[in-house]
């Protein structure tokens, strides 16, 4: 494949209830994942930033200006039109950009920010002097999902910090940029397996894991549960920050992969899809212990019955 010099950026601003469905469309037909930008305001807290949430979400995807462009645009337009029959949506905005702008499109809204009591997410291009107790995650997400700004990622990181004990084996399903896997390793996990079905995400995660010095702990693989025979059969902690649909589809293998006292932290669930996910997990042998919420997003914690 030759070098791509021009890209078409597609963006749409929707409420958080529509974000999951639009993200699935963009992920399926776009190139290299989805950029999800919340409408946020940030207030300084020392050198790190604490994020205050608002509802609107802007989603972006990028199409290479090659032969596939008309087909991809048509597929996205058709899918968004179908979604708008269920919930009104604005039109998709288009903007032509060059390769350099494509590579840096997600950087403008990503600054140093603190999550939980100790975690600090720092873009690789920013400088930051951590306090002694802080755990710093160096991140260059590229076009892979996962900066820690979205409510689903924040909730997963905060629960991970609370529940991870040194020596645990962790699975990060749908690793994206690798942010959760890196946090798990830096918080004391003995082994972390990070899986993703997107080639761009796998590449970004591997680079971030190397930059954070946790290559001996975290293994990144292309694929999903059941596609690798050499990964541990049981995990003490499973992170699945994906979508309600995928969590439901993988409910049985997720429960099977939990150690007897293991915990599943499942995020990326919009409020209206929560009941279906809870029912599917229950039918698959899991008991939901707690449901966390942030705006219209839900994150659940479950154990094997």
Kindly state the percentage of the chain with pLDDT values over 90: 46
CATH code at 116-304: 3.40.50.150
Among 145, 124, 270, 253, CA closest to 197: 145
CA distance 19 to 155: 17
CA distance 170 to 172: 7
Q: Which residues, in sequence order, are CB contacts of 70 under 8 Å at separation 6+?
A: none
pLDDT tens digit string along 54-108? 467 888 888 888 888 999 999 999 999 999 988 889 999 999 888 777 666 656 6
Among 208, 149, 153, CA closest to 180: 153
What are 38's strand-pairing partners?
57
pLDDT tens digit string along 225-237? 876 676 667 999 9
Please report which confidence band the pLDDT of residue 47 belongs to, taking 50, 70 and 90 as the band edges.
very low
Q: Parse the chain into domains and list their residue ranges.
A: 6-103, 116-304
Please state the pTM of the whole predicted model.
Answer: 0.74
Q: For residue 262, what pLDDT is reported?
A: 96
CA distance 289 to 122: 32
Q: For residue 51, what pLDDT is reported?
A: 41
CA distance 4 to 102: 10
User: Into which CATH architecture does domain 6-103 fall?
Assistant: 2-Layer Sandwich (3.30)
pLDDT at 142 over 70: no
- Assess contact for 240 and 300: CB atoms under 8 A: no
- For CA atoms 214, 151, 244, 276, give the dihedral sign: positive
| Side-chain-side CA neighbours of residue 207 (13 Å) | 16
Tokens standing for 56? 């609107």
CA distance 60 to 105: 9
pLDDT at 114 over 80: yes
pLDDT at 31 over 90: no
Among 138, 204, 210, CA closest to 174: 204
pLDDT tens digit string along 269-285? 988 899 999 999 999 99
pLDDT at 143 over 60: no
CA distance 290 to 192: 24
């Amino acid at each position: 494949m030759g070098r791509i010099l021009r890209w078409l950026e597609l963006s749409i601003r929707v409420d958080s209830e529509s974000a999951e469905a639009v993200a699935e469309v963009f992920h399926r037909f776009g190139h290299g994942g989805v950029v999800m930008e919340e409408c946020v305001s940030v207030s300084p807290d020392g050198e790190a930033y604490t994020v205050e949430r608002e509802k609107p979400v802007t989603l972006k995807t990028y199409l290479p200006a090659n032969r596939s462009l008309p087909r991809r645009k048509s597929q996205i337009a058709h899918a968004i039109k179908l979604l708008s029959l269920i919930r009104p949506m604005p039109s998709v905005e288009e903007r032509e950009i060059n390769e350099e702008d494509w590579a840096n499109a997600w950087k403008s809204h990503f600054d140093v920010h603190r999550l939980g009591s100790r975690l600090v997410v720092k873009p690789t291009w920013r400088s930051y002097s951590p306090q002694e107790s802080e755990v710093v995650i160096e991140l260059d997400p590229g076009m892979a999902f996962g900066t820690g700004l979205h409510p689903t990622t924040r909730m997963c990181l905060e629960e991970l910090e609370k529940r991870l004990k040194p020596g645990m084996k962790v699975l990060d399903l749908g690793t994206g940029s690798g942010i959760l896997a890196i946090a798990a390793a830096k918080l004391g996990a003995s082994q972390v397996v990070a899986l993703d079905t997107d080639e761009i995400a796998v590449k970004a995660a591997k680079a971030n894991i190397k930059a954070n010095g946790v290559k001996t702990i975290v293994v990144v693989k292309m694929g999903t549960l059941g596609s690798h025979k050499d990964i541990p059969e049981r995990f003490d902690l499973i992170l699945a920050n994906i979508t309600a649909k995928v969590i439901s589809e993988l409910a049985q293998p997720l429960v099977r992969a939990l150690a007897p006292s293991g915990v599943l932290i499942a995020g990326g669930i919009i409020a209206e899809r929560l009941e279906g996910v809870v029912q599917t997990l229950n039918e698959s042998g899991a008991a939901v212990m707690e449901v966390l919420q942030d705006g219209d997003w839900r994150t659940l914690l479950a154990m094997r019955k």
